[in-house]
Amino acid sequence: MSHFDSTRRRFLGTAAAGGTILVAPAYLRRAHAQGGGEVNIWTYNDFVPEDFKREFESDTGIKVNIRLVDDQGKQFNLLSAEQPEPTVDIMTVAGHRFLQFIDNELLAPLDTDRLKNWGRINPTFSESDWATINGHKWGAPILSGMEVLAYNTELVSAEEARSWDVLFSDKYEGRTAYIIQDMMSIVMLKMGYDGNMIAYLDDPEKAAAIVEEAKNFLIDRKHLVRKYYDGGAEFQQMMVNQDIALGHAWNGPAAALINDGFPLEITIPQEGSYGFVYTYNITRNAPNEDNAYRFLDAILAAPEIGAAMTRASGFISTYKDVDPLLSELERKSTSFSDEELAGLQFFRAEANDLKYGLVDPAVEAIKAA
């Protein structure tokens, strides 16, 4: 009996200790939240400046929990899985993906009256047509980006980089990289079509034929590409390791490399390209909605924060009065000539169902080919 007592005691002790360990995180989290609470954010790397985060936490007592994401689709799927009780308060949606999130009731309309610093956003972004859907604003624009051609200036000339064709030239075989899904839009644009596919909303057969043409173009040139990549960090790494000489990139990660002194240039080639705007959005049924509004208002409060976001991410700030706060190199890496900007269009969401219904299988086909 005494032997059994001893075993039982050990069993109970272990169970108690195990239980305590399992319960501890929930208890500690709740205990911490009793201070100023918390705000949970899904966003891209460097979109919340570290200094700002520290200061905000110390001023408000609100703990900022950041979960890094690298893709709009992943955020959509994660949030869909969590609804109707999401764990996230603020997420980072690109303007042209709004509709998908709104249609699935994942976002709450943004009450701009609760943001006294709303006016600090450049109206080009805060009041543009894509920013208002169903009579509501859905997000606070924070950074703007675009699809660019980035090239190592020691290996590729500016003349060569005037056209997207250089990405598919034999000269740079095995030394290029691109995000295949984004490249589909660019190839369609390069071929003279509407990469947003709005022009083909009434003609799905033509849309399918265009996607097929773009798909075949990329499959025929698959042997020339070194890597289909997914995130900006991968692009930076391939450039630094000299695995590639040029590639399609988002301007942010490329600009960050330029600011670090890497011999890189970015350009919008003559065939044109697409731009997008990242916005902070409050989720439907956000568990800490008040804290989310406090966070948004605080991050919009000063151009210095916008400059810090640009400096860290390389994307272009949507805030007013940021330019004077940037260094010459930072300004250079985030600005384009009028000629380049003339070819820039913004991604649009109106035909997303049609477009991605065709593009997604095409992407899989290209990868599998």
Partner 1 sequence: MVESDQRPFWGRLSGWGPYRSSMRLLSAGPRRQFLVLVTLPVLWVLTQHLGPMVQMASVSLTDAYPVAPGTETHWTFEHYLKFFTDRIFWMPFFRTLIFASVFTFVTLILTYPVAYYLARHVSPKNRMLLLLLLLIPFWVGEIVRTYAIMILLGNTGALNLLLQSIGLIERPIPFMYTSFSMGVGIVYLTALYMLLPLYSALEKLPRSLNEAGADLGAGAWTRFRRITLPLTLEGITSGCILVFLISTGFYATPVLLGGPSTTVFAQTIAGFFHVAGNEWPTGAAFATIMFLAALIVTGVFQKLMNGLRRGDVR
Residue number, 35 or 174, with CB nearest to partner 1: 174
State which of residues 226, 320, 331, 332 lies at the interface with partner 1 (CB under 8 A). 226
Distance from C-alpha of 130 to C-alpha of 102, rounded to nearest angstrom? 13
Give 105 or 213: the residue with its C-beta nearer to partner 1.
105
Is 202 among the residues that bind partner 1 (CB under 8 A)? no
Instruction: Answer whether 106's CB lies under 8 Å from 79's CB.
Output: yes
**Considering the rule CB under 8 A, would residue 74 count as an interface residue with partner 1?**
yes
Q: Which of 104, 157, 327, 335 lies at the binding interface for partner 1 (CB under 8 A)?
A: 104
Q: Least separation, in Å, of the C-beta of 43 and partner 1?
A: 17
Which token pair is 106? 């994942």
If one asks whether residue 9 binds partner 1 (CB under 8 A), the answer comes out as yes
Which of residues 134 and 241 has its CB atom nearest to partner 1 in the complex?
A: 241
For the window 19-48, what string marks contact with partner 1 as x by the rule CB under 8 A? ------------------------------
What is the nearest approach in angstroms of partner 1 to the Cβ of residue 323? 35
| Closer by beta carbon to partner 1, 271 or else 360 | 360
* Segment lying near partner 1 (by CB under 8 A), choices 24-32, 35-43, 58-66, 101-109: 101-109
Per CB under 8 A, the list member of 105, 165, 212, 220 interacting with partner 1 is 105
CA distances from 31 to 24, 60, 309 (A): 10, 16, 31
**Where do contacts with partner 1 occur on this chain (CB under 8 A)?**
4-5, 8-9, 12-13, 71, 73-74, 76-77, 80-81, 83, 100, 103-105, 174, 181, 222, 225-228, 230, 234, 237, 240-243, 356, 360-361, 363-365, 367-369
